[in-house]
Structure 1
Amino acid sequence: MERRLFRKVRHEKTRNNVKYGMLSNSLFMVKEALGTNSVVLAVTLFQALLAVAISLMELYVAPTILGNLERHDALGTMIGSIGFFALGIMGLQGLSAYLENNQIFMRIPIRLSIISKMWRKAGTCSYPVRESQDFIRSFTKATDASIGNDSAAEYIWSTFAGLLQNLVGFCIYLYLLTHADPVIIIVTLAAAVISYLASSYFNGWGYRHRQEEAEIKNRFFYFRGRARDRQLAKDVRIFGIGGWLREMQDKNMRMLQDFYLRRERVCLLADFTDVALSFLRNGIAYAWLLYLAVQGSFSASEFLFYFTAVSGFTAWITGIMDSVSRLRKQSLDLSCIREMLDYEEPFLFEKGKALEVMPGTEYTIELKDVTFRYPGAEKETFFHLNLTLHPGEKLAVVGANGAGKTTLVRLLCGLYDPDEGEVLLNGVNIKEYNRRDYYQLFSAVFQEFSLLAGEIGENVACFEQETDSYRMRDCMEKAGLAGKVEALPEGYGTHLVKEVYDDAVELSGGEQQRLVMARLLYKDSPVMILDEPTAALDAIAESDIYRKYHELSRGKSSVFISHRLASTRFCDRIILLRDGKVAEEGTHEELMTLGKSYAELFRIQSRYYVDRPGENE
């Protein structure tokens, strides 16, 4: 039961199923504004009131002038009325235009704050969540909802302003029309409600199909990205896979176009329904108003006033419906953002017990009766595995491909939790600790290590805000790369990654290994992990790198993984993984004396290098 529950949380079903409503999402944005730039709230309210004031001025201008004519007012009075309305409308419209042109500078910081939180979530979430396809889809949808000035995370402020404007205008015009006839109000409201219900259904189509859209876009951008991948360029030319890449990109482009075509058909039907209902609503209202005027219920100026008011009242109702509909769509997008931000975590972080890594403290890490299986796998990677890493011990992990060497390292490092059993640190289950504190125990170099776009010194110090230059140079010296780097024109300020910097240098495979070695030494953690980082190097280069790590890891617990057994002969203990368990265990000499799988594999590899000296694997 525990295994099924944890797998459910740890992988594809790891998500918070809370549905966020319009009110909840609106309050979320208000909270973001209060924490980032509260001025946008006041400006949004002021924009709404300005728009209503302009509408009222435009409503009264023609009936007022016509009333002057009916009463035979003096020319000065008429000119005064015209001047008052003209200047009033010009002034209010000018102020409204100013706010409209400058409100973007108030809204952008709020959207950028949300994006920053999204990237922080993606960068700090647990490893199982980060590699989950469900989370990746959620992140894609959240990104779509926050990229650009017209995205929900920014444009919603225009929707708020429009909704406030329409609500205030509706209330004022409703009061004015109560002096005319209630039939007009009833007809207009009834048609508007029907229009809203129809548009609500149509506008929800995109949200109901958001998973389908995310999957299609993920595939499309994956193949587009691979076609631009500089590292793949050689394979494309040598193996002739360019045609296949183009075919897959075109196929996914067609799928994306088909999806958008279906969406636009739904939008077209929604627009047609809205036009038909608007025509019916306005026709009945105007016909009834005309009937009342013929009956002599209104003067000419009053007829013009109510005729204009009905048009405005209809616009306010339509505006409310449109604003609510737009707010609903934007709320669905904001739901994607909040689902991503609130994505459920299987590990404890800030709520876990603090763990302070102290220099000189001895740490014992134990895998106790551990069972682990990847989702969808036919069998367990480990089944009731028991293993202890003792303080200061150098442990080598060997085995065939798929034996679970990398998985073992991830369990030791706390990147995964077992389905059954425990990972203990000095006798305490690591689930109790703040997992980020636990990570500080480890310095690791994995098979696919990363050199980031930045300076060499920054890569060594992992972009610390305050780099210890002396310690950084000392680590580079110990790694055997100081001479090479200091001979460069910019020294430790030399850039890496040519995709970003034109003046970047390209380090050889061996030099990259020494750079990550210096990074590992700079962190100076009590446990070192090497998960086949030298797999791309030849046997001699790998042996040299591992000997260097051996020299520099004195006094530290170390785990070395390599498919070349000769590289790890120096380790205190070697374990061979097979069938989810430790099949053989001992020193190199003890395992050779045992004469089983390890000894046979070592002899085969030794014969290969003797028969074919100097060749890379």
Structure 2
Amino acid sequence: MMQQRFFDQAALLASKNTSLNKILFSFMLLGLAYLVCNVLNGADNFIRDTAENKIKGKMSLEIHKKVARLNLIDFEDTNKLDNLNKAEQGKNNLVLFAFDFTSIFTFYLPYFLFMGWYLFSLKPTLAVSIVFIFIPTAATQIIRAKVFAKLEDKSAPVRREYDYYESCIVGREYYKETRLLGGFDFFNKLYLESLDILQKLKYKATLRVNLIELSMQIFTVIGYFVVLLMLFNALMNQDISIGAFAAVFESISRLYSIMREIISDGISSMAKNVGTIENYINFLELDERKSALDLKLEWGDIFLENVSFTYPNSETYAVKNASFTLKKGETIAIVGENGSGKSTLVRLITGLYLPAIGRVTVSGYDTKDLSQKTLYENTTAVFQKYQRYQMTVEDNITISETNIEYNKSTLDNVCEIAGINMDESTFTEGYGTMLSREFGGVDLSGGQWQRIAISRGFFREHNLIVLDESTAAIDPYEETRIYKQFAKISKDKSAIIITHRLGSAKISDRIVVMKNGEVEEIGTHDELLQAGKEYTRLYTAQEQWYS
């Protein structure tokens, strides 16, 4: 309207039917309108960028909270892992979707309603005809939404493989072995193959949508020129003024551009991302681990009653019909060949996994009825595949128990148990030494790192401690010393040792022998040797190591 007023005043000035002051006033109003629009656009961009980062942070937190509430067995299910990958993609797209959706109702819709009213007031057919121009484009976006939703379902598992192969090539955890063993070409081949599959899936979907969109755009462009022809005809018939013609001519061009922006970019982006947004919502709706009891346990016996367990997508029992009691203050060793079910049995004992059949009770409470917080606050563990945190020595040890007060003597004690020699040549800053060359610190050998992991497990206050092949990188003599120390500190506490070195199992009160997922034997070292069954066979095969 400001443009029409300005152009009408300019036409009147040319015919000397108005004053210069009036046209200057119209020019100032037009300039003020442009200034307000630019200021509002700038404010919108600033607010959007700031809010976007905050919202993404909040949504990431929701994903992490959801992950914490899931059953840990879900991370053995490839479908659930795909859902997590899709949720990460959907998180970012949901923010964009929300802003685009908000823009439609706060900017685009008011703008179109005003322009529709303005054009209708000039000539009704102008307003009505514009609506039909963009119907083909709108229809295209419905098709786009369906195509890209299917694309996301196909892409998620391939994208997980792609990310994994990439980490095998350049990840800190893998790159040394990948290069030394000559595995780079192998992983690079798999990486490129998965990338090629992703690109082909995206190419097919994009090509299909773009061909449909191109055909629809032809009709839109034809409609645009029809509107301009109608506008010119209205001017020739003196249905509108020259100022109105100039203003509408410029406005039609802008309106066409904005409509293309909202439909081809805004709605197109929303349609493209709606599939990943559904994945984010579906992830938040996954079944969670249901537990009602959140309490402070008075530690007692752990009892397994006819416990069986299978992993997702497997028909074979990893643990079958296991029954025994881990008494308070008792140390047991779990031994057996690879794949016999040792680690799975421990995950059931500690409540990480819940049995499919039977039950596990801790101090009389079924693990299915206890919260994860209740189960884990009494437990500590050292695993063969431990984490090498790129932090200081002190942080690496104390991260297992951040809510307790401690002093240097506490650190000295757990380091002595784990066999860590805090010599100045290696640990130049003492417990403040950074364990990462990437951050200006030092790196350790595999055995030294394993000792750090052991000290971390011992530092945590606990009633149950698990050592799962935790001394695999340490020589047998040092392992014996650590286990003797372990036996001392585990007195009056429950303890579990998983080991392939049967000589180390002798320190335990009882030994549980696993075979094909079943508890084959239970007894002391001497009792099992006298029985002459599976344990005797395993021990005899290693006997020369202990002679």
Superposed displacement of residue 525, structure 1 = 0.7
**Superposition map of 1:387-402 within 5 A:** 387-402=324-339
Q: Secondary structure at the match of 2:134?
A: helix
Query: Residues 306 and 91 from structure 1, CA distance in 2 versus in 1: closer, same or farther, beyond 3 angstroms?
Result: closer
2:426 is aligned with 1:481 = no
- Work out the CA distance in 1 between the residues paired with 2:171 and 2:237: 77
2:356 is aligned with 1:419 = yes
- Work out the CA distance in 2 between the residues paired with 1:606 and 1:219: 43
Q: Secondary structure at the match of 2:317?
A: coil
8 Å contact kept, 1:59–1:308: no
8 Å contact kept, 2:120–2:126: no
Query: Residues 192 and 576 from structure 1, CA distance in 2 versus in 1: closer, same or farther, beyond 3 angstroms?
Result: same
Q: 2:458 aligns with which of 502, 505, 521?
A: 521
Q: Secondary structure at the match of 1:209?
A: helix
8 Å contact kept, 1:477–1:483: no
Superposed displacement of residue 77, structure 1 = 1.6
- Work out the CA distance in 2 between the residues paired with 1:491 and 1:416: 39
**What do residues 395-452 of structure 1 show as CA deviations (whole Å, max 9, x unaligned)?**
1111121110000001111111111111112222111111222111211112212131
> Which position in structure 2 is the counterpart of 1:344?
287
Query: Residues 162 and 384 from structure 1, CA distance in 2 versus in 1: closer, same or farther, beyond 3 angstroms?
Result: same
Superposed displacement of residue 233, structure 1 = 4.8
Query: Residues 211 and 566 from structure 1, CA distance in 2 versus in 1: closer, same or farther, beyond 3 angstroms?
Result: same
> Which position in structure 2 is the counterpart of 1:30?
none
**Superposition map of 1:40-119 within 5 A:** 57-58=2-3, 60-66=5-11, 69=14, 72-94=17-39, 96-97=41-42, 99-101=44-46, 103-119=48-64
> Which position in structure 2 is the counterpart of 1:490?
429
AA partner of residue 136 (structure 1): L
> Which position in structure 2 is the counterpart of 1:502?
440
Q: Secondary structure at the match of 1:450?
A: coil
AA partner of residue 259 (structure 1): L
**Superposition map of 1:449-468 within 5 A:** 449-462=386-399, 464=402, 468=406
Backbone CA RMSD of aligned residues: 2.9
**What do residues 541-564 of structure 1 show as CA deviations (whole Å, max 9, x unaligned)?**
332322221122111011111111
> Which position in structure 2 is the counterpart of 1:136?
81
> Which position in structure 2 is the counterpart of 1:39?
none
Query: Residues 251 and 332 from structure 1, CA distance in 2 versus in 1: closer, same or farther, beyond 3 angstroms?
Result: closer
8 Å contact kept, 2:145–2:275: no
8 Å contact kept, 2:308–2:355: yes
AA partner of residue 77 (structure 2): S
AA partner of residue 530 (structure 2): T
Superposed displacement of residue 169, structure 1 = 1.1
Superposed displacement of residue 335, structure 1 = 3.1
Superposed displacement of residue 75, structure 1 = 1.9
AA partner of residue 258 (structure 1): K
8 Å contact kept, 2:235–2:245: yes
> Which position in structure 1 is the counterpart of 2:277?
334
Superposed displacement of residue 588, structure 1 = 1.0
> Which position in structure 2 is the counterpart of 1:24?
none
> Which position in structure 2 is the counterpart of 1:5?
none
Q: Secondary structure at the match of 2:511?
A: strand
Q: 2:367 aligns with which of 430, 444, 456?
A: 430
Q: 2:112 aligns with which of 170, 192, 197?
A: 170
Share of identical aligned residues, percent?
A: 22
Q: 2:342 aligns with which of 399, 405, 419?
A: 405
Query: Residues 232 and 85 from structure 1, CA distance in 2 versus in 1: closer, same or farther, beyond 3 angstroms?
Result: closer
8 Å contact kept, 1:485–1:492: no
Q: Secondary structure at the match of 1:576?
A: strand
TM-score between the two structures when normalised by the length of structure 2: 0.90
Q: Which moved more, 1:390-399 or 1:427-436?
A: 427-436
8 Å contact kept, 2:141–2:267: no
> Which position in structure 2 is the counterpart of 1:43?
none
Q: Which moved more, 1:565-574 or 1:156-165?
A: 156-165
Q: Which moved more, 1:321-330 or 1:396-405?
A: 321-330
What is the number of residues matched between the two proteins? 544
**What do residues 315-339 of structure 1 show as CA deviations (whole Å, max 9, x unaligned)?**
5655554434433444444333333
> Which position in structure 1 is the counterpart of 2:231?
289
8 Å contact kept, 2:6–2:23: no
8 Å contact kept, 1:591–1:598: yes
8 Å contact kept, 1:202–1:270: no
Structure 1's unaligned 5+ residue stretches are 1-55, 611-617
**Superposition map of 1:197-216 within 5 A:** 197-216=139-158
- Work out the CA distance in 2 between the residues paired with 1:209 and 1:156: 21
- Work out the CA distance in 2 between the residues paired with 1:353 and 1:443: 20
Query: Residues 542 and 370 from structure 1, CA distance in 2 versus in 1: closer, same or farther, beyond 3 angstroms?
Result: same
